Amino acid sequence: MKHTTLLALIAVPSILLVGCDQKKAAIDDKKDNIKTAIDDRKDEVDAAAKEATKRTTRNAEIDKAQIEADKVSVQAQLDADKKKVDAEADAAKAKVDAEKKDN
């Protein structure tokens, strides 16, 4: 009987340890799965941020090109306006010279 009681005292903690180890292993598995999911989400966020940065850069380049094109167009119009003013002034001067000769 002493041997049976002794074996029982040894066996019960062993069973409890095995059950405890299984629970700890399950907790570790759950923790690892959650950490893996978090790492995967971080990778997704990083990829999305990189794509957004590329898209923003492309849009900025397009906007910059449009601004430059608008500037060139307005400057060309202003240059044309200057030539028109010069031509009108030359015509007015020629008219004054013609009127002067007629007098």
C-alpha span between 39 and 45 (Å, rounded): 10
φ and ψ of 87, to 5 deg: -65, -40
Overall average pLDDT of the 56-76 stretch: 98
pLDDT of amino acid 13: 58
One-letter amino acid at 31 equals: K
Q: What is the mean pLDDT of residues 92-103?
A: 86
d(CA 54, CA 51): 5
Q: Is the pLDDT of residue 5 over 90?
A: no
Residue 68: the pLDDT is 98
Number of domains forming the structure of the chain = 1
What was the pLDDT predicted at 23?
86
Q: Domain of 32?
A: 1-103
What confidence score (pLDDT) does residue 84 get? 98
